[in-house]
A and B are shown apart, each in its own frame.
Chain A
Amino acid sequence: EVQLVESGGGLVQPGGSLRLSCAASGFTFRSYWMFWVRQTPGKGLEWVAGIQYDGSARYYVDSVKGRFTVSRDNAENSLYLQMNSLRAEDTAVYYCVTHDRSRSVDYWGQGTLVTVSS
């Protein structure tokens, strides 16, 4: 059974940092691009960051460039999102996602809530 389990969310003050983790199981993690997607009632669903199979390529949405860093550990089947200089507008549920655009492979975790507030 495929599982993506996020952790690390919580309440943080503006300007603070958080590190999200995602533990993957049930599929060949090292074979897939991995992504972080966030969801808010106001802005809907937004693709935040993506990382290639071996970590050699990374992509970020403009609003998080320079503040967020995506990484992975294929030996541990884990995905990470280091979030620095957090802002109120980063408040969202963050999902760990495996998205293969050409095959029937698309997995989502249950999400972890990040709240940025003083």
Chain B
Amino acid sequence: DVLMTQSPLSLPVTLGQPASISCRSSQSLVHSDGNTYLHWFRQRPGQSPRRLIYKVSNRDSGVPDRFSGSGSGTDFTLKISRVEAEDVGIYYCMQSTHWPFTFGGGTKVEIK
């Protein structure tokens, strides 16, 4: 199975400041069709996960443009340009290139 490793585990951030989460996969996430199926999710307490970014850098519908994704191959990054209070939660990277799909262990974003 593809192992997804996120860092940091915990990310205290000041409101209005940027935040960055790293995700590394144990093997390339480039599919035979040429696409890279790396996605980012956020889960707020008591809620189901919600996808924010799909295929590395595409924002899902309704996701603010302060969220951006980048990367290639095995190394990926999620950035929040200016953290707002509603951004708290656990962020997960996830790959759907190889079955079984796999999630990272999560990064907890909290306000300082």
How far does the Cβ of A98 sit from chain B's closest Cβ, in whole Å? 10
Give 1 or 0 for each of B68-112: 1 = CB within 8 Å of chain A CB. Answer: 000000000000000000000000101010011111011000000
What residue of chain A has the Cβ atom nearest to residue B52's Cβ? A106
B58 interface hit (Cβ, 8 Å): yes
| Cβ B61 vs Cβ A104 within 8 A | yes
**Quick check: is B39 within 8 A (CB to CB) of the other chain?**
yes
Looking at chain A, what size class is its interface with the partner chain?
20 to 34
Asked if B49 and A101 make an inter-chain contact with CB atoms under 8 angstroms apart, the answer reads no
A108-B99 contact given A44-B106, A101-B37, CB 8 Å threshold: no
Q: Which residues of B contact A101 (CB under 8 A)?
A: 35, 37, 39, 54-55, 96
Q: How many residues of B contact A (CB 8 A)?
A: 22
The minimal Cβ–Cβ distance linking B36 to chain A, given in whole angstroms, is 10
* B96, A99: Cβ atoms closer than 8 Å: yes
A106 touches B54 (CB 8 A): yes
Residue among A44, A99, A101, A108 facing the most chain B CB atoms (10 A cut-off): A101
A106 to B50: give the CA distance in the assembly, Å: 8
When the two chains form the complex, which single residue of A35, A45, A50, A59 contacts B49, counting CB atoms closer than 8 Å?
A45
- Chain B residues with CB under 8 A of A59: 99-100
Interface 0/1 of B39-54, CB less than 8 Å to A: 1000000001111001
Task: Kindly count the residue-residue contacts between A and B in the assembled complex, taking CB atoms under 8 Å apart.
Answer: 53
Residues of A within 8 A of B35 (CB): 101-102
Interchain nearest-CB distance for B20 vs A (Å) = 21
What chain A residues lie within 8 Å of B51 (beta carbons)? 99, 106
From residue 75 to 107 of chain A, which have CB atoms closer than 8 A to chain B?
Answer: 95, 99, 101-104, 106
A108 pairs with B58, CB closer than 8 A = no
**Residues of chain B within 8 A of A50, CB atoms compared:** 99, 101
**Given A45-B103, A47-B101, A102 and B49 touching (CB < 8 A)?**
no
The 3 residue pairs across chains A and B that have the minimum distance between CB atoms: A106-B51, A108-B48, A45-B103
**A residues bordering B, Cβ < 8 Å?**
35, 44-47, 50, 59, 61-62, 95, 99, 101-104, 106, 108-111
